[in-house]
Amino acid sequence: MSRPESRGTGSTFLGMPARPPRVPYGDGNLRGEEAFPRAAAGELRNEQLRRNLGRATGTIRGKRLAVTGELPDWEELRDAGAALKTDALNRLPELLEELERKVTERGGTVHWARDGAEANAIVTRLVKAAGSDEVIKVKSMATQEIGLNEHLEDAGITPWETDLAELIVQLGHDRPSHILVPAIHRNRDEIREIFLKEIPGVDPSLDSVPAHLAAAARAYLREKFMTTRVAVSGANFGIAETGTLGVVESEGNGRMCLTLPETLITVMGIEKVLPRHQDLEVFLQLLPRSSTGERMNPYTSLWTGVTEGDGPQDFHLVLLDNGRTAALADAVGRQALNCIRCSACLNVCPVYERVGGHAYGSTYPGPIGAVLTPQLAGMHAADDDPNSSLPYASTLCGACYDACPVKIDIPSLLVELRHQKTEESGRSAERLAMRAAAAVMGRPRLWTAAQRTARLGRALAGRDGTIGRLPAPFSGWSDTRDTPAPPKHTFRDWFASDEGAAALRDAAREGERRRAERRTSGDDQEDQ
């Protein structure tokens, strides 16, 4: 597909700049097949998924609160993390150029990719140039976003996922359902079945004890680690100052991929760049504690270009745009690019907890996915574009904002996107989306929870502090749902009434009280 490029070069500024393009429709894994409400309705019938997810999110939530509560300077770390990411985005051109220079100085090669198709083509070319028809992969959201595995397979290259959960997903011909625990929708018996069917030569008497299943995967993957000559990874950080890349993981499959093959290809979103090596001191505290609820993840690997006698001697860094510059062009929405993919917001989200990751149809599920996905890939005019429904996949309860280690104000971003969608498509499409969303959101408990939180009022106010710009979605919402309150009139009317004002005041107090409680007790009660 051809598309108008914004400009040939970026060095001089002539006239009004063009808005950078979003991911082309239908490319990669940033769009599901059906709108969120319909997909969610299907997932809601999956009892197993809901049970597993409930347990997973509950467990991780508890661990996260315990280890974040341990640090007296947690809020200061969040402040630093948020500011560092914002500062890095503000200075993105110079930082990317610096990163490129440093990686090149250290013997690496840097490639730039405007979109997923281009990144896929670069990786394919590099793998072929290395003379290999297979690659080992360490879990990477960027490569999943662009559908690299599918593309490699089409080109006759076999990609082997080496993260245990990703392996389960891949062998099960399935899709990941959580950023952090992608196979959480599978239980041990299902995993055993998958292994028996898909791993060649696996012991037929394999039982479903997790340690035995992990051992089977270990034996299977060892062979791949030892024999595959090319690895593909993502990166959690890229340090401009030194050209250092970083991967944070638990299993050691990352270390295997980053160390044993001859060629390493790293695909990194351009928003992952950090200015200084010292900045790692912030993110190596924020990320593991927010993500797995650990003080530190078992393994972190940092590498810079190539090092003689140690690790791959051929290193390639692919810097990926794929809609990121489109998000960057939005003064409000660009906040979503601060995301460090910890998944904390998923684990506290009442909607995610019930419907799971598949309903979002994107590599990025949950609250951040609902914001990031439409920004990267757009909300298309077609009424049934799944991404148009994502900004409604939220109760705006604000738990995600409280949990986010880099303080992304997800509720406000969701409201902003709802607003943008309204502007684009007019009221009727809006009402359709809202009616459908109500099928999921129209649960008295969630509605009441949303109503009770102070955040709703603040989020409603949007970025300029007025609520007048947002009548349609909310009137649509209240018109079409069967909820205890508000019964007859529109949300807007209710909001303007004394009753509404009082409810919001109460909510503000209640929200404050809950947050204070959570801060002092480390208690894990979500607002629901």
CA-CA distance, 276 to 400, in Å (whole number)? 28
Instruction: Pick one of 344, 377, 446, 460: the residue that binds ligand SF4 (CB under 6 A).
Output: 344
Q: Pick from ligand SF4, another protein, none: which does 345 bind, CB < 5 to 8 A by kind? A: ligand SF4
DSSP single-letter state for residue 317? E
Distance of CA 53 to the CA centre of its chain: 17
Binding segment for ligand SF4 among 53-61, 143-151, 400-408, 438-446 (CB under 6 A)?
400-408
- Residue placing its CB nearer to another protein in the complex, 193 or 506: 193
Q: Pick from another protein, ligand SF4, none: which does 13 bind, CB < 5 to 8 A by kind? A: another protein
Q: Pick from another protein, ligand SF4, none: which does 301 bind, CB < 5 to 8 A by kind? A: another protein
- Shortest CA distance to 391 belongs to which of 409, 363, 410? 410
Size of the site for ligand SF4 (CB under 6 A): 14
DSSP single-letter state for residue 269? E
Q: Pick from another protein, ligand SF4, none: which does 382 bind, CB < 5 to 8 A by kind? A: none
- Residue placing its CB nearer to ligand SF4 in the complex, 431 or 515: 515
CA-CA distance, 467 to 209, in Å (whole number)? 54
- Residue placing its CB nearer to ligand SF4 in the complex, 117 or 399: 399
DSSP single-letter state for residue 32? -
Q: Does 411 sit near ligand SF4 (CB under 6 A)?
A: no
Terminal alpha carbon distance of the chain: 46
- Across-strand partners of 386? none
Contact 268, 238 (CB under 8 A): yes
- Shortest CA distance to 123 belongs to which of 97, 98, 144? 144
What residues from 238 to 297 belong to the interface with ligand SF4 (CB under 6 A)? 290
The label of the residue with tokens 């509605």 reads 447
What is the nearest approach in angstroms of another protein to the Cβ of residue 248?
9
Instruction: Pick one of 263, 343, 389, 395: the residue that binds ligand SF4 (CB under 6 A).
Output: 343
- Residue placing its CB nearer to ligand SF4 in the complex, 224 or 418: 418
CA distances from residue 291 to 314, 431, 514 in whole angstroms, order as listed: 31, 36, 22
- Residue placing its CB nearer to another protein in the complex, 253 or 363: 253
CA-CA distance, 520 to 528, in Å (whole number)? 19
CA-CA distance, 430 to 442, in Å (whole number)? 16
What is the nearest approach in angstroms of another protein to the Cβ of residue 270?
7
What is the nearest approach in angstroms of another protein to the Cβ of residue 452?
30
- Across-strand partners of 265? 232, 316
- Across-strand partners of 249? 299
Q: Pick from ligand SF4, another protein, none: which does 174 bind, CB < 5 to 8 A by kind? A: none
Q: Pick from ligand SF4, another protein, none: which does 428 bind, CB < 5 to 8 A by kind? A: none
- Residue placing its CB nearer to another protein in the complex, 328 or 393: 328
Between helix 280-291 and helix 74-90 the angle, nearest 10°, is 120
The label of the residue with tokens 């080992």 reads 136
- Across-strand partners of 136? 160, 231
- Shortest CA distance to 30 belongs to which of 118, 141, 163, 113? 141
What is the nearest approach in angstroms of another protein to the Cβ of residue 478?
32
What is the nearest approach in angstroms of ligand SF4 to the Cβ of residue 345?
3
Instruction: Pick one of 39, 148, 230, 406: the residue that binds ligand SF4 (CB under 6 A).
Output: 406
Q: Pick from another protein, ligand SF4, none: which does 307 bind, CB < 5 to 8 A by kind? A: another protein
What is the nearest approach in angstroms of another protein to the Cβ of residue 363?
18
Q: Show the tokens assigned to 84.
A: 């560092």
Instruction: Pick one of 61, 334, 341, 443: the residue that binds ligand SF4 (CB under 6 A).
Output: 341
Binding segment for ligand SF4 among 26-34, 243-251, 333-341, 386-394 (CB under 6 A)?
333-341
CA distances from residue 482 to 387, 389, 441 in whole angstroms, order as listed: 25, 19, 10
Q: Pick from another protein, ligand SF4, none: which does 191 bind, CB < 5 to 8 A by kind? A: another protein
- Residue placing its CB nearer to ligand SF4 in the complex, 98 or 527: 527
Instruction: Pick one of 403, 454, 459, 503: the residue that binds ligand SF4 (CB under 6 A).
Output: 403
CA distances from residue 431 to 246, 387, 481 in whole angstroms, order as listed: 45, 15, 11
Q: Rounded to the nearest 5°, which phi and psi values hold at 440?
A: -95, -45
- Residue placing its CB nearer to ligand SF4 in the complex, 108 or 405: 405
**Residues binding ligand SF4 (CB under 6 A):** 290, 339-345, 368, 403-406, 408
